[in-house]
Amino acid sequence: MITLITSIITVATTISKVLAVAGLAIEGLKAIGHAFVALGKALGIIKPETNVEDLGDRAIQAEAAGIKPENFSSYAEYAKRVEEFKTDPEKSKNIKEEEKLIKGISVTAALAAEKYPEFPMEAFAKYAISNPQYFTAERMSEFGKLIHGTVDSAKNIFNYITGSERSSVKIEEALKDLTKIEKNINPKISDADALKYALSSRK
């Protein structure tokens, strides 16, 4: 179990570092934060009322109070304690918005990685951060539903968008699923436009 929690902590640390060096403006970070929380909600690991900044604020203050993931047997147990933690409003004012957003995103990514070990969540998170124009909150929510319901299809899409899939059959399946995502977001969209957005999933 120690090895597992250590690997999940590594995911959180990696995502935090990726975001820290991305050089994103605060609005860009907010957009990514909303996208990851939408993913977390679709996966059932984040409560519907959760706000990414509040989550990050709680995690930062909880850590200062000694509540750290390495002290728990699972990241989910740690996150539950963070969720229950009461923040100090005065301390909240002194924490930069950027720090709250980064922490909230990394906690969500780590939770997702622990719950779905069969999906390459860390790599997916890094790819999503590098392509924020495509990975909006609406699409991340749809991806979450797909990972939660049909993880093999989600993995197939990931292999396609990262260019590692070589099978024409699987590429066709991935494009069908990506097109369906667009239709779920906007039922009135034309097939041609849905496919156009599906193709834009690849950088």
- Domain borders along the chain are 2-121
Q: Is the pLDDT of residue 8 over 90?
A: yes
- Average pLDDT over every residue of 52-75: 96
pLDDT of residue 1: 44
Closest CA to 109 of 40, 157, 161: 40
pLDDT of residue 151: 92
Distance CA 200, CA 28 (A): 19
**All residues at 6 or more sequence positions from 72 whose CB lies less than 8 Å from its CB, including other chains:** 5, 78, 81
pLDDT of residue 203: 75
Q: Which helix (H) or strand (E) holds 91?
A: helix 89-93
pLDDT of residue 22: 86
Write the pLDDT tens digit of every residue in 99-140: 999 999 999 999 999 999 999 999 999 999 999 999 999 999
Write the pLDDT tens digit of every residue in 147-169: 999 999 999 999 999 999 999 99
Q: Is the pLDDT of residue 64 over 50?
A: yes
Query: Which structure tokens are listed for 57?
Result: 């604020």
User: What is the percent of the chain where pLDDT is above 70?
Assistant: 99
Query: Which structure tokens are listed for 169?
Result: 């059959």
3-state secondary structure 94-124: CCCHHHHHHHHHHHHHHHHHHHCCCCCHHHH
pTM to 2 decimal places: 0.92
- Average pLDDT over every residue of 65-91: 96
